[in-house]
């Protein structure tokens, strides 16, 4: 059994409730000018979607006069991380969107730059993952996909995010749960959701895997067929069956958060932190979270810093268990 989400989510939501109570006490924040949000992947993926959702809400709520999103793809986010560290040092007008996938990339790529080099700002949201096939695929169910996977693992190509991303981890967990060697999973990495979508819709891969919010519109439009979702129970108003109810004892949950530059002044950090606290408390942000089926996991900087440390240890254990890191 693997139920990373159930154990983790209980703790995450507990911290989020306490943090949400603190949001209402945040004093009036100074307006941020010319804010730059760095999404360390190509357009279309989860980090990009998070950054663009923030862009809209921050401007709509009058918390920032101008917000620009910059995509810096490569090596699971570590290229964007390295550039953020070197080019944004001590700046008070830049934020890096980070998450569990970046933790995995740092570990597997043995990146000399880690999240320890930058300043935790806030944890934002979490998301379950969905497994799906092109609409024209002959595979109609998770049962059929598993049969094909067990018969010949190499014949099932999985399209997802970068190496050691939550997408690849979930594919490995599924393989392990059904008795297939995770090392034989034919995983094809992409630097962002947009690239993965092209591969999936073009019929170049067997199955796609990624955050539900990333592929929700494709599912609703009938361009792809969802086979399973990685939640413990079905999501509200979502008819996709879980892996567990189809006999695959796996659940998995991804988180996303925000990082400020290294060496940022305390006064600048407070301005950014106040703006984010007000953003997550706004009706517009709550509507966005609900629409994308994200889970509100807001956590301010001190608690987020402790969470990042614990999460790295968890990720190292999972990646080692799946044979993705030695």
DSSP 8-state secondary structure symbol assigned to residue 128? E
- Domain boundary (199, 217, 251) is at 251
Does one domain contain both 20 and 78? yes
Residue 133 is predicted with a pLDDT of 98
Mean per-residue pLDDT over the chain, rounded:
91
Q: How many domains does the chain have?
A: 2
Residue 141 belongs to a domain with what CATH number? 3.40.190.10
Higher pLDDT, 25 or 44: 44
* Residues 6+ away with beta carbon under 8 Å from 15: 297, 299, 303, 307
Does one domain contain both 113 and 148? no
Does one domain contain both 9 and 57? yes
Residue 259 belongs to a domain with what CATH number? 3.40.190.150
Percent with pLDDT over 70 in the chain: 91
In a domain, 326, yes or no: no
* Residues 6+ away with beta carbon under 8 Å from 132: 200, 207, 208, 209, 215, 218, 219, 224, 225, 226, 227
Range of the domain at 170: 128-251
pLDDT score of 30 more than 90: no
Residue indicated by tokens 């695929």: 137
Does one domain contain both 33 and 178? no
pLDDT band at 33 (very low <50, low <70, confident <90, very high): confident
Does one domain contain both 157 and 113? no
Average pLDDT over every residue of 72-88: 96
Does one domain contain both 115 and 183? no
In a domain, 32, yes or no: yes
Does one domain contain both 259 and 155? no
Side-chain-facing half-sphere of 237: CA atoms under 13 Å: 6
Helices (H), the chain: 4-23, 46-60, 78-87, 100-108, 142-151, 166-177, 193-201, 212-220, 266-281, 283-291, 301-321
In a domain, 240, yes or no: yes
């Amino acid at each position: 059994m693997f139920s990373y989400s159930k154990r983790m989510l209980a703790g995450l939501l507990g911290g989020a409730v306490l943090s949400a109570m603190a949001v209402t006490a945040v004093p009036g924040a100074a307006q941020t000018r010319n804010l730059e949000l760095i999404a360390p992947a190509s357009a279309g993926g989860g980090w990009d979607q998070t950054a663009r959702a923030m862009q809209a809400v921050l401007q709509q709520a009058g918390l920032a006069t101008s917000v620009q999103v910059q995509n810096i793809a490569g090596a699971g986010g570590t290229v964007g991380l390295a550039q953020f560290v070197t080019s944004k040092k001590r700046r008070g007008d830049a934020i890096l969107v980070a998450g569990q996938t970046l933790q995995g990339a740092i570990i597997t790529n043995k990146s000399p730059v880690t999240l320890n080099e930058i300043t935790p700002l806030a944890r934002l949201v979490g998301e379950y993952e969905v497994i799906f096939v092109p609409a024209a695929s002959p595979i109609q169910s998770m049962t059929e996909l598993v049969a094909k996977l067990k018969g010949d693992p190499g014949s099932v190509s999985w399209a997802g995010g970068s190496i050691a991303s939550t997408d690849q981890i979930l594919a490995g967990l599924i393989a392990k749960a059904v008795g297939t060697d995770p090392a034989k999973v034919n995983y094809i990495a992409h630097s962002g959701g947009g690239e993965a979508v092209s591969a999936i819709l073009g019929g170049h891969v067997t199955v796609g895997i990624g955050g539900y919010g990333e592929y929700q519109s494709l599912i609703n439009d009938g361009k792809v067929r969802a086979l399973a979702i990685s939640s413990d129970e079905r999501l509200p108003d979502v008819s996709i069956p879980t892996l567990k109810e189809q006999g695959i004892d796996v659940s998995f949950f991804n988180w996303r958060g925000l990082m400020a530059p290294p060496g940022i002044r305390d006064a600048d950090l407070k301005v950014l932190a106040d703006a984010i606290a007000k953003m997550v408390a706004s009706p517009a942000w709550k509507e966005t979270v609900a629409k994308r089926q994200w889970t509100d996991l807001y956590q301010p900087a001190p608690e987020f810093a402790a969470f990042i440390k614990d999460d790295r240890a968890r990720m190292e254990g999972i990646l080692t268990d799946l044979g993705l890191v030695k």
